[in-house]
A and B are shown apart, each in its own frame.
Chain A
Amino acid sequence: MMNFFGNRKNSIKAVYEDDLEKYLKSVDLYDKILSKEFQCRFCHTNISLENLEVIIPRGKSIEFICNNKLCLHQA
């Protein structure tokens, strides 16, 4: 994507802490996370509102990365 000055931009999507609950509800993931339906892609720990760090869309499925140091760098 180009900006007004002709520089190309790559954007990352970010969700702010205070918006996390609202965001997860909007994409129908909130209840599933509360009921521990998802595990971290790498360490397989249950994903919770506290440890969720990265959301990775993979077409039909969604993957999550927890805030464990060993998992963070592998997203």
Chain B
Amino acid sequence: MSTSSLTTKAITESPWAIAIGNYIQSHPVLWFSLFALMLVGSLLKLILSAVPQIDILKSKILLPLVKKYKHKKLIKSAIKSDIRGHVNKEVAKVKKFLPCGWAEDMDIDWVDTEEASTLRNDKRIIVRIRPLENQEHNFVNASYHFLHSGFFPKMQSVIPKPHYEASVLYICRKVVDGRGKTASTIFEDNFLEPSIQKFQEIPEYMDDYELMDKRGFFMGTFLRELYAIATNAKFSRARNNIPEETTKMLAHVKNFIGAYDNHLSGEKEMAPSDWWHGGSVSKYAILLVARPESTRIDPYIKRAQDRFNAGSKRLYVFGANHERKFANAVIAGIDGTINGAKLVESFETPYDYRGMPGGIGAVFEYNRSIAS
């Protein structure tokens, strides 16, 4: 018999183990209640971490308490709930617009000790969290680093730095503004202004992002296409031209909005070339699904096919909120009808292409070798 089996036998046959066993058997209700209580406690803990509003409520209860009773474990719990609750509440408003995986729910892993090898192998950065008196600073700091680490996954070193920085700051500003004036001021003083001092393009970029965002094209097209450019050019000589490609793509999206506005006002009809962009890496087209005169989706599918045939590698389809059903039918139609067209992602947009709140979109990739 092995040593461990002997040890187990000695423990189970010891007088105190037998006594505990007998006690449990004679008090089943007590033990069941304790077990149920532990289960409910664990479930509550899970719910607390999953719902931002509950996290915020928890922090509202804990924060006044820990100001009076300086218990470190409670202080850390209050800080964590406060930051996590507020960040997740605001991130929830934008994550449905962003590419999948860029802004998931946030959690904070406290570290007080770890192996040096664990620190080196874990690629996550470590942020210093200051005492409660600096909680607004902690919130801004954590929000920024959380978004910064999630944007453009694996392409962060390839994306032009000013656009990487400006896009994180643009979204971070929305998150931080939801918290209140003090956090906004800290964000502007400690993050926005220093970034502008380093990259003078940032204010102009942020204006451009705002213009595109109000029509659903910032997160819908610009960020996704920028990521696609970086992904496709990463290991080729085209990598050197990414800044130029990005500038041209940005100009196209802005021009498209201008051309569409002119068309709406009756000033000037849109030219066929307004609907697509042909850079050296970025080749995409835009398809706006408008209110149908009939319920047929065929004209849209034909247009999508024509654009793929003309050389577009990606297609962005957009629909207004009140035309969601029809737009979804067009998206499903393209997905099911056009050989070589693969639905990469469907997403929501904060505004539709006419500037009305809410909209939907989808992006397709076209593989010519499968199509032929």
Is there a chain B Cβ closer than 8 Å to A62's Cβ?
A: yes
**Nearest 9 CB-CB pairs, A to B?**
A26-B113, A19-B112, A11-B107, A55-B126, A8-B104, A4-B46, A73-B191, A13-B126, A27-B116
CA distance A3 to B122 in the complex (A): 20
10 A-B pairs in the complex with CB atoms less than 8 angstroms apart:
A10-B149, A11-B106, A12-B145, A13-B111, A14-B111, A15-B111, A20-B128, A73-B165, A73-B191, A73-B195
Is there contact, CB below 8 Å, between A7 and B190?
no
B binding-site residues for A, Cβ under 8 Å:
46, 49-50, 72, 75-76, 79, 101, 103-116, 119-131, 141-142, 144-146, 148-150, 165, 169, 189-191, 193-195, 197-198
Q: How far is the CA of A70 from the CA of B149 in the complex (A)?
A: 18
* Chain A, Cβ-Cβ closest to B50: A5
Are B129 and A9 in touch, CB under 8 angstroms?
Answer: no
If over half of B's interface residues share one DSSP class (helix, strand or loop), that class is named, otherwise mixed; here it is: helix
User: Across the interface, which residues of A come within 8 angstroms of B124, CB to CB?
Assistant: 11-13, 57
Chain A residues in the interface with B (C-beta under 8 A): 3-5, 7-20, 22-23, 26-29, 52-57, 59-60, 62, 69-70, 72-75
The binding surface of chain A is classed by DSSP as mixed
Assembly CA distance A31 to B114 (angstroms): 16
How far in angstroms is the closest Cβ of chain B from A31?
13
**Which residue of chain B lies nearest to A29 when distances are taken between CB atoms in the complex?**
B116
Q: Which residues of B contact A3 (CB under 8 A)?
A: 46, 49-50, 105
Report the bound CA distance from A56 to B131 in whole Å.
21
